A and B are shown apart, each in its own frame.
Chain A
Amino acid sequence: MGFQIPKNEYTGKINTVKLGKDKSEILIGGEASLPFYGFEGELPNKPIIAMDVFDIKPSGWPESLAKYYSDVWDDPVKWSQKCISEFGAEAICLHLASTNPDAGNTSPEDAAELVNKVRESIDKPLILYGDGPMEKIAEVMKKVSEKSADSNILMGWVEEDNYKTLAAAAMGYNNNVIALNPLDVNIAKQLNILLTQLGLSPDRIAMDPSSSGVGYGIEYCFSAMERLKIAALIQNDKMTQMPIINNIASEVWKVKEVKESEKEYPEWGDLEERGINWETISVMCMLASGSNIITMRHPKAVSLIKEIIKELL
């Protein structure tokens, strides 16, 4: 008798969430097995790469990364378009950093205006992360949702403190929300219960379990995500069946290992290569533990990850 791969039976399934509309529409989630275990259950939608775009010129980016974007980073529209056409981004993750009261305090109206402009100029779905105190984030996203009604954007983020405003904004204008939790399965579930009980459909929620890069506690993220997926698939726990988004680029690109020059740390080797490896490995860990959407920055890391995903699926 030949060798047979042992197979797990899964009773649950990850929810399918629709992002974008018409030309930009894609589906995420929907898998009926653990990540990349195509032999155990179907994996209808592959994980997608959302490239980071900021609404103000970012500071503190190493030259090895900045050099790809410095020509467009004054204009979020051009930046988004470059990510898509040149680097193959499958979605754009727009960080509304300037809405933070400490960084320009852009008004909800202006932010919503910008989101509209970016959304209309690209053919990929749009993911948003607010910035600043919870009240401001809720205020901004409420306006954004209203202005971008019916376009299935994915808005971040909701926590226990602001879930009501944002969930209502998503429900009223047919958009999606990111439910953020501090690496905790119970709190993730609690937030999902609160959101769904308000009337928000489960297929309008993605979970962000908080992320960190290699060397900064990625093992913890890995096991928290693994627990979420196991609860969703094996225990058929409805409140953990939301797809997962990892906002990991922000974590990877702030550590000293991707910023310090080779001159400073000769034993660490070439800075750019180091950054690419750091991001690729961090992202791969997240994908292996069940990420459905991953944020990224370095074009070379993006193409490497795309290759790996293709290879594995």
Chain B
Amino acid sequence: MVKQEKFFIKFLPSGKTIKVTPNYNLRQAILDCGLDIGSSCGGVGTCGRCKVQLKEGNTDSRDSKFITNREKKEGFILSCQSKVLSDLAVLIPEQKKGRTKIKKGESAKEPSKVYAGICQSELSSVEIKPWIVKETIDVEKPSLSYGTSDLYRLKKSISENLGVSDCMIPLHLIRKLPEILRSKSWKVTVTVDKENMILIDIYPGSTPKKCYGIALDIGTTTLAMYLVDLENGKIIGSASEYNPQIKFGEDIINRIVYSIKEGGLEKLREVIIDSINNLIWKLLLNSHVNADNIVSMVVAGNATMMHLFYGVPPKYIREEPYVTVANKFSSSTAEEVGIKHIKNAFIYNIQGVASYLGGDITSGVLATGVSTREDLTLFIDLGTNGELVVGNSDWMMGCSCSAGPAFEGGGVKCGIRAIDGAIEKVWIDQETFKCHVDVIGGGKPHGICGSGLLDIIGEMYLKGVIDRKGRFNKDIGNKYLRCVDKDCRYVLVNGKDSTTGKDIYISEVDVDNLMRAKAAVYAGIKTLLEEVDLEVSDIEKIYIAGGLGKNLNVQNAIVIGMLPDININKYYFLGNTSVTGAYLSLLSIEKYRQAEEIAGKITYIELSVNMRFMDRYVAGLFFPFTDLREFPTVEELMYSMSNKLK
């Protein structure tokens, strides 16, 4: 047999190495090594983010508009467009990476308090009625005259003590049963899922009664997790992290495309499970909670994320007529889905509505109580997709519009998640065009989070830094505008004042990405309302959810034409409602059941085939909107500002 030639690649600065066959795709080699590489196009050469520098060796690389002549001379190539032709040394530029954010003891008896500063009263409150209970019970001893089986007697005792008749006892617990029952003279502690009537775990004797649960939101861009004391509802700790699947594609479609590739689905599942394990581990370490006491986890996420989490092929979500394999997956043990540390816990998920209206939205509707109120409410979740639900206790309709990852800091060069160091608020001096920033946590800024981005765009437009098309006004004497050829950037923070040592700026491409995101959201709102023959003015409350930041300047979101021009007192910003819904479901079986009801009640409207939506979307690629009559107060504001200037 001819020995297959292999090339040896060394990646810098990590020093990781790999052997590959000739003509192997370089980006794939990077991913195979487990290294991070930017990409939003999924490796087709259209995003220019997987740029690397070739230090030694030869590749067959296609030219790209993302590589300047100078960079070409320095050896920069797009890794996804490069085939390996020899041994290589490749420098991977530092990837923009978010740190895991852990908060300790962010405690509250009421879920609402989790959102300090955010409109708490609008979130549902809950009576704590955990459906996973841990009790110490006595099992009847067998005797010659009472010779029923161990299993029968255990079931009988569970039925008598916990009111769960005919509890299912999994095989792996039956295997341990005889010894456990006998070791502490027939006294055992059981963890029972009252909803599914399953015995989750059993210990000899009376172990401490403490029971904990985990609420998890799997977003396309961000993961958010709470560790919860199930007895009192206290949130012991919370953590968040970028979804590690980002490197395989920034949006859902690119993830699905990747999942179809050989080994793709397994890879996507592997990284997300790894990341979740990591978050759990960090939370456990910080809180000193014994892993054995974690009995359940409730997961909310959009349909694609849930498919990937459970390792179910999401392929048909992307193909007409766009159906899911399941909108709700069967409950399973943590071990079955690969979650470590809390092996015996049960994993539950929140039911979704449709392919593009997932459990995260059901969860958000649950958290905000839209389905229980009489007043007409519009619920907007600004994530990688903008999802909308309108309705009240009688009816609900929902839709989804692809907004891109901009709101969560993706697709924008200096964008980051809403973590410490993120700029969340700005103010631009009309005279000097200097930008003043507010940073989460108060320290030096590191990047800009979603709420900061919306605020900046609004300010830039109001103060004339950009025009209605989102192009920089170059003739206003703005000395914070730095142009090299056609590439212009508005510098918010100088390198010397940032944690990275690099300027924090907004480029025209960033503005374009945000423009598209805001256009999609507004077009979605208008089209959804039109479907039910409502005007924006008929809406009594508008809830905005999403991991944008702690605060959202609604006024500026209106100025740029993302949100309808109505009284800003009707708006409430609520943060991540998906994880809140999961949290509520964790605490109360009634809420968990209510989520199912909600999912069944929402009528889904498909926007991708809606001509009116497309038309409004194009009209939205303008500040605030092509038909200025839809934004009367913004026009008034602009008019009075330009008068002031004169």
Residues of A within 8 A of B615 (CB): 185-186
With an 8 A cutoff between CB atoms, is A160 at the interface?
Answer: yes
Known contacts A186-B615, A187-B618: does B626 contact A193 (CB below 8 Å)?
yes
A160 and B469 contact, CB distance less than 8 A? yes
Number of interface residues of A (CB under 8 A): 13
With an 8 A cutoff between CB atoms, is A124 at the interface?
Answer: no
B467 and A190 contact, CB distance less than 8 A? no
B626 and A160 contact, CB distance less than 8 A? no
Q: Who on chain A is nearest to B622 by CB?
A: A190
B468 and A194 contact, CB distance less than 8 A? yes
Q: List 10 A-B contacts (CB under 8 A).
A: A160-B469, A186-B619, A186-B622, A186-B626, A187-B618, A189-B626, A190-B468, A190-B469, A193-B622, A237-B627
Q: Who on chain B is nearest to A187 by CB?
A: B618
Nearest-neighbour CB distance to chain A for B613, whole angstroms, equals 13
Residues of A within 8 A of B627 (CB): 189, 237
Q: Who on chain A is nearest to B616 by CB?
A: A186
A234-267 vs B, CB cutoff 8 Å, 1 = contact: the mask equals 0001010000000000000000000000000000
Residues of A within 8 A of B622 (CB): 186, 190, 193
B611-635 vs A, CB cutoff 8 Å, 1 = contact: the mask equals 0000100110110001110000000
Q: Who on chain B is nearest to A185 by CB?
A: B615
With an 8 A cutoff between CB atoms, is A272 at the interface?
Answer: no
Nearest-neighbour CB distance to chain B for A229, whole angstroms, equals 17
B618 and A193 contact, CB distance less than 8 A? no
With an 8 A cutoff between CB atoms, is B471 at the interface?
Answer: yes
When chains A and B are docked, how far (Å) is the Cα of A239 from the Cα of B626? 9
Known contacts A186-B626, A190-B626: does B471 contact A160 (CB below 8 Å)?
yes
Number of interface residues of B (CB under 8 A): 13
When chains A and B are docked, how far (Å) is the Cα of A237 from the Cα of B615? 16
Q: Who on chain A is nearest to B618 by CB?
A: A186
When chains A and B are docked, how far (Å) is the Cα of A189 from the Cα of B469? 12
Nearest-neighbour CB distance to chain A for B469, whole angstroms, equals 5
When chains A and B are docked, how far (Å) is the Cα of A239 from the Cα of B618? 16
Chain B residues with CB under 8 Å of chain A are: 467-469, 471, 475, 615, 618-619, 621-622, 626-628
When chains A and B are docked, how far (Å) is the Cα of A20 from the Cα of B522? 44
A204-241 vs B, CB cutoff 8 Å, 1 = contact: the mask equals 00000000000000000000000000000000010100
With an 8 A cutoff between CB atoms, is A184 at the interface?
Answer: yes
Interface residues of A, dominant DSSP: helix
Which are the 10 A-B pairs with shortest beta-carbon distances?
A186-B619, A186-B618, A190-B622, A186-B626, A189-B626, A190-B626, A160-B469, A194-B468, A184-B618, A193-B468
Known contacts A186-B626, A189-B626: does B469 contact A194 (CB below 8 Å)?
yes
Nearest-neighbour CB distance to chain B for A172, whole angstroms, equals 15
Residues of A within 8 A of B468 (CB): 190, 193-194, 197
B471 and A193 contact, CB distance less than 8 A? no
Q: Who on chain A is nearest to B475 by CB?
A: A164
Nearest-neighbour CB distance to chain A for B475, whole angstroms, equals 8
Nearest-neighbour CB distance to chain B for A196, whole angstroms, equals 11
Point out the residue from A164, A185, A186, A193 that lies within 8 Å of B628, measured CB to CB.
Answer: A193
When chains A and B are docked, how far (Å) is the Cα of A197 from the Cα of B471? 15
Known contacts A186-B615, A186-B618, A187-B618: does B626 contact A194 (CB below 8 Å)?
no
When chains A and B are docked, how far (Å) is the Cα of A136 from the Cα of B403? 36
When chains A and B are docked, how far (Å) is the Cα of A148 from the Cα of B471? 30
Residues of A within 8 A of B628 (CB): 193
When chains A and B are docked, how far (Å) is the Cα of A160 from the Cα of B475? 16
Q: Who on chain B is nearest to A197 by CB?
A: B468
When chains A and B are docked, how far (Å) is the Cα of A164 from the Cα of B467? 11
A255-294 vs B, CB cutoff 8 Å, 1 = contact: the mask equals 0000000000000000000000000000000000000000
Residues of B within 8 A of A185 (CB): 615
Residues of A within 8 A of B619 (CB): 186, 189
When chains A and B are docked, how far (Å) is the Cα of A186 from the Cα of B468? 13
Looking at A164, A186, A194, the one whose CB has the most chain B CB atoms below 10 A away is A186
Residues of A within 8 A of B467 (CB): 194
Q: Who on chain B is nearest to A231 by CB?
A: B627
Nearest-neighbour CB distance to chain B for A11, whole angstroms, equals 14
When chains A and B are docked, how far (Å) is the Cα of A184 from the Cα of B622? 14
Looking at A160, A184, A187, A190, the one whose CB has the most chain B CB atoms below 10 A away is A190
A6-27 vs B, CB cutoff 8 Å, 1 = contact: the mask equals 0000000000000000000000
A167-187 vs B, CB cutoff 8 Å, 1 = contact: the mask equals 000000000000000001111
Residues of B within 8 A of A164 (CB): 475
Residues of B within 8 A of A186 (CB): 615, 618-619, 621-622, 626
Residues of B within 8 A of A237 (CB): 627
